[in-house]
Amino acid sequence: MNHPCANSKSLLLQVLNGCLLLCMILIKDSAIAAIPTGNETDLQALVHFKSKIVEDPFNTMSSWNGSINHCNWIGITCSNISNGRVTHLSLEQLRLGGTLTPFIGNLTFLTTVNLLNNSFHGEFPQEVGRLLYLQYLNFSINNFGGSFPSNLSHCTNLRVLAAGLNNLTGTIPTWIGNLSSLSRVSFGLNNFIGRIPHEVGLLSSLTSLVLYGNYLTGTVPSSIYNISSLYYFTFTQNHLHGTLPADVGFTLPNIQVFAGAVNNLTGSVPASLLNASKLEILDFSLNGLTGTLPKNLGVLYRLTRLSFEHNRLGTGKTDDLSFLDSLVNCTALQVLRLGVNNFGGVLPKSIANFSSQLHTFALNSNRIHGNIPAGIGNLANLALIGLEGNELTSSVPDALGRLQNLQLLYLNVNKFSGRIPSSLGNLSLITKLFLEENNFEGSIPSSLGNCQKLLVLSLYSNKLSGTIPTEVIGLSSLAIYFDVSYNALSGTLPVEVSKLRNLAELVLSENNFSGVIPSSLGSCISLEKLHLQGEIPKNGIFKNATSISLYGNIKLCGGVSELNFPPCTIRKRKASRLRKLVASKVAIPIAIALILLLLLSCFLTLFPIVKRAKRKTPTSTTGNALDLEISYSEITKCTGGFSQDNLIGSGSFGSVYKGTLSGDGSIVAVKVLNLQQRGASRSFIDECHVLRSIRHRNLLKIITAISGVDHQGNDFKALVFEYMPNGSLEDWLHPVNNVQTQTKKLTFIQRLNIAIDVACALEYLHHFCETPIVHCDIKPSNVLLDNDLVAHVGDFGLATFLFEESSKFSTQSVISASLRGSIGYIPPEYGMGGKPSTLGDVYSYGILLLEIFTGKRPTDEEAFEGGMGIHQFVAMALPNRVTDIVDPSLVSEQDFDEENQEFEDEEKAIRKNYEIEASAKGLMEDCFVSLMEIGASCSANPPSERMPITVVINKLHAIKNSFKKIKHSAI
Ligand SMILES: *[C@@H]1O[C@H](CO)[C@@H](O)[C@H](O)[C@H]1NC(C)=O
Ligand SMILES: *[C@@H]1O[C@H](CO)[C@@H](O)[C@H](O)[C@H]1NC(C)=O
Ligand SMILES: *[C@@H]1O[C@H](CO)[C@@H](O)[C@H](O)[C@H]1NC(C)=O
């Protein structure tokens, strides 16, 4: 098989080793002339490559056929300079599955191999070591296993080596130190063990090193801290120990992202870091660091995220927090997490001057005393305040009520006194309010009834008195728990309690309530736990002894006989502080405890949901297996036996049918999972987990989940959602002609509202869930529209909990190796081994926004010539040619009329005035420019340049307001 020229060929290559690539290829050119079969070898290798592909959902490989020259196959680039030999193999994000052929080693002239985000498995073939010109190798987000291909050590021209998110094992090879051109290396989210070789430190051109999420042990070699070109270095989530070098800020002067959270680091935080003035992200949470933070930390004025949560920092003494004063210089700071340390002292008044972008302020579980400075009310973007578990005193400032974006407020387990400020009722976005275990007195402010998004209201163990205001007990948004136990509340329980239809846990015990328990409590159909005293109702949910837990409420009486409570006699009260004692012992990081609870409930998800479904089917009173079968029957019936007529869509993991429930006749969407599809089961569980824990106006609401067997005895899993009569945004933006779909186009204001809805849903997922959730698949077909065209984000099959952000859980087992998204919407950094991140969702959102207002798909190759994507297409038109790229139907006259109609209510009749309308059109253009700028910013390549979603929402609202003004001026 050896070619006669093989020897001279390798000799030539040896001679040329070290020469620049272009120079090599040019000289090689003449050598190639002697090997006429070179292109045939390439062809053969590619044919073999194709033969190993077993999954190809987009039919990419169909273009790889004999009727087309192989240089024109999808993903293949040949170069004249290499005599028509293949130089690029670029098959990213195509969901190709199979093994990688060893024939790849015959594609001698390859400079680029990009297999990012597919499903290749097996070992990466050693033959890759024959690709001596290789500069770019990216096989991140696949399922390659085994150890790293050692022959890769021959590819000395490699600049980029991305192997993130695979199933690789073994150690990081020492020979990596010989690949001296390497600039970017990602080994993130694999199973690497052993030490980080000190040879990595030989890579003097390295800019980015990602070791995140492995099982590495030992210390970080000091040689790595001497690579002055590094700007991105993360080794979060390993088992590393040791200290940060004292001079690290001088040896890494260019560092922007420096993270080593979730390890066993000890020692102090080096003061030299103050010299690394480009730092944006500094995250060493969950280690064992001691000492204090440098007083003038704020000289790092570019910081956006500062996290030293859960270490042993601070002395517990008075001036521990004096460094906070300097942080007023960090005008871009968004996240400040210093919780679970030993910081003493008081909160300085200077926090009033913190960055207006700050959305997370967490100093929980420290030893902070004094009060909360009223100036905190200036921080208008704050979404989370975590001050629980400190020794804070005095009353809570009214100014908190000014924080219009606040969603989570933790003030529990402190020594606050005085009344609960009624201004908290102004927090229209708040979802969780924790005030328990303080000394609050007076009555519960009725204004809290205005917090229409509240899911948790925790007031136990205070000194509250008076009755529970009807506005509060009737707050129908309450869904997780409402706990007022261990107070001095009195009066009767208002009948409005019946409005708590979504509430899972209601705790009223240890108060002075009197009178009867209203029978309307039976309407709380979601109730899983109820703690109170007195007589148990016998109707509604209380009819069925198995559907409710009353365990531990020894003072209850009455109820249906199956509950085995004694009949009611005269009630006696005997206070017990047991709960308080237990609670304060485990109070440490209450937030983390809650996450644990959430996790637990997640893992138990299927059971309660199915159980709830059962309750809705009055006929199902027999054993479990039968119940599931009945559910299957019910679903079969309601979808007309899964008839084609009822099929309203099919997604990555199954089909969606429309159905009518026999019970109340409500119309639902039933998503039946295709369990043959790899990952579908996992996706089902993921989706249940996510849906279980979240509720938001702009998220698709789940009605129930069904997991069981079908009539043939096969596994069957389905999710039942509320039905969205207006279909998906996809149907509206890109109607398919032959199918019955929308003939009407969406107007400007409708599109803007949809954009705002989706952004709100994302903001909720990212910032206001107990654990941040990344959706991972934002695209038009996952945005569903109800009767009023309000958008609901659906399909949580790919969503990921971001534990790393908020807790100490190992992500290793949780972040699934099947991370995916949809072509055109996947952020580029996922390819470099980047983990799922909220900024990844922002990228997809940016693309979506551009799509909404240009009407063009990101995958529309005809529209964007020369490999340009929608982002560049828009960026090039900004700002002067923006009307050329907006969806033509938005600039047309007729559209204006329609929109005017929409504003009729608000602005009365519209008289046409062409002159004013002309100027209105100029203003419209400004709106378009702003929108495209937001979309372009969100879809910027470097994640750090993407606009935070909270800012997006503010800007979109501003555009909406100025649009309304335009309409006013047109009257
Ligand atoms: C290979 O190159 C030769 C000479 O340029 C050409 O005639 C032949 O068609 C090529 N074969 C393929 C498979 O491209
Ligand atoms: C290409 O590579 C494969 C496996 O590495 C080998 O078996 C084959 O003979 C090589 N040569 C050609 C011309 O395909
Ligand atoms: C990862 O590799 C191990 C063996 O090293 C194997 O048992 C496991 O199934 C692989 N995981 C996946 C998701 O392929």
Q: Report the candidate in 411, 341, 428 with the shortest Cα–Cα distance to residue 376.
A: 411
What mean pLDDT comes out for the span 65-83? Answer: 90
pLDDT (tens digit per residue) in 161-191: 999 889 999 999 999 999 999 999 999 889 9
pLDDT at 668: 82
Please report the atom of ligand 2 found closest to the CA of residue 125: 5
State residue 568's pLDDT score.
Answer: 55
**Which of 777, 795, 841, 895 is labelled catalytic?**
777
Give the ligand with the smallest distance to the CA of 73: 1
For position 875, what pLDDT does the model report? 87
pLDDT tens digit sequence for 627-652: 233 467 777 887 888 888 888 776 65
- Find out whether the peptide bond into 879 is cis, omega within 30 degrees of 0: yes
Ranges 146-155, 610-619, 732-741: which has the least confidence: 610-619
pLDDT class of 962 with cuts at 50, 70, 90? confident
Whole-number Å distance, alpha carbon 4 to ligand 1 midpoint, is 20
Residue 113: the pLDDT is 97
Decide whether any atom of ligand 2 lies within 6 Å of the 236 Cβ: no
In the residue annotation, 777 being an active-site residue is answered as yes
- Check pLDDT > 50 for residue 146: yes
Predicted pLDDT of residue 524: 66
- Dihedral pair phi/psi, residue 145, rounded to 5°: -125, -170
- The residue whose C-alpha atom lies closest to atom 13 belonging to ligand 2 is 41
Closest C-alpha residue for ligand 2 atom 12: 41
How far away, in angstroms, is 167 Cα from ligand 3 center? 6
Which one has a higher pLDDT value, 952 or 566? 952
Give the pLDDT score at 738: 45
Confidence of residue 553 (pLDDT cuts 50, 70, 90): low
pLDDT of amino acid 402: 96
> How far is residue 775's CA from residue 796's CA, in Å, rounded to a whole number?
6
Per residue in 472-482, pLDDT (tens digit) is 998 988 877 89
pLDDT greater than 50 at residue 56: yes
Q: For residue range 358-404, what is the model confidence (pLDDT) as tens digits?
A: 999 999 999 999 999 999 999 999 999 999 999 999 999 999 999 99
Predicted pLDDT of residue 514: 82
Residues 6 or more apart from 830 whose CB is under 8 A from it?
116, 117, 140, 141, 819, 821, 836, 840
What confidence score (pLDDT) does residue 480 get?
75
pLDDT at 687 over 70: no
Q: Can you give the pLDDT at residue 652?
A: 55
**What's the gap in Å between 39 CA and the centre of ligand 1?**
6
CB of 617 closer than 6 angstroms to any ligand 2 atom: no
Q: Say what percent of the chain tops pLDDT 70.
A: 73
Q: How confident is the model at residue 692 (pLDDT cuts 50, 70, 90)?
A: low
pLDDT digits over 93-115, tens only?
Answer: 888 999 999 999 999 999 999 99
Closest to 841 measured CA to CA, from 793, 797, 775, 781: 775
Report the pLDDT averaged over residues 603-612.
Answer: 26
Three-state SS across 376-437?
HHHCCCCCEEECCCCEECCCCCHHHHHCCCCCEEECCCCCCCCECCHHHHHCCCCCEEECCC
Cα gap 441→464, rounded to integer Å: 4
The closest-lying atom of ligand 3 relative to the alpha carbon of residue 818 is 13
Q: Is 317 annotated as a binding residue?
A: no
pLDDT surpasses 80 at 15: no
Test site for ligand 2: of 106, 110, 130, most ligand atoms within 8 A of the Cβ: 106
Q: Annotate 767-830 with DSSP letters as a single string.
A: IISSS-EE----SGGGEEE-TT--EEE---TT-EE-HHHHS----TTTS-TT----TTTS-GGG
pLDDT at 864 over 90: no
Nearest in space to 940 (alpha carbons), one of 828, 853, 823, 779: 828
Give the pLDDT of residue 532.
66
CA–CA distance, 107 with 113 (Å, rounded to integer): 10
40 lines ligand 1 (CB under 6 A): yes
Cβ-based neighbour number of residue 570 at 10 Å = 4
Any atom of ligand 3 within 6 Å of the Cβ of 169:
yes
- SS3 string of 80-132? HHHCCEEEEEECCCCCCEEECCHHHHHCCCCCEEECCCCEEEECCCHHHHHCC
Q: Nearest ligand to the C-alpha of residue 107?
A: 2
Q: Is pLDDT above 60 for 970?
A: no
Q: Would the CA dihedral through 305, 309, 311, 315 be positive or negative? A: positive
**What's the whole-number mean pLDDT along residues 713-742?**
75
Q: Which pLDDT score, from 0 to 100, does residue 894 have?
A: 37
Q: Considering only 35-49, 345-359, 835-849, which range has the smallest mean pLDDT?
A: 35-49
Average pLDDT, rounded, for the chain = 78
Mean pLDDT of 843-851: 95
Query: In the chain, what percentage of residues exceed pLDDT 90?
Result: 46
Q: Which two tokens stand for residue 181?
A: 């051109």
Which atom of ligand 1 is least distant from the CA of 40? 13
Q: What are the tens digits of pLDDT across the range 503-551?
A: 777 888 888 888 777 777 766 665 656 666 855 666 555 666 665 555 5
pLDDT at 12: 33
pLDDT-based confidence at residue 58 (cuts at 50, 70, 90): confident
- Residue 193, SS3 per DSSP: strand
Report pLDDT for 226. 96
Residue of 410 and 703 predicted with greater confidence? 410
**Ligand 2: which atom is nearest the Cα of residue 37?**
13
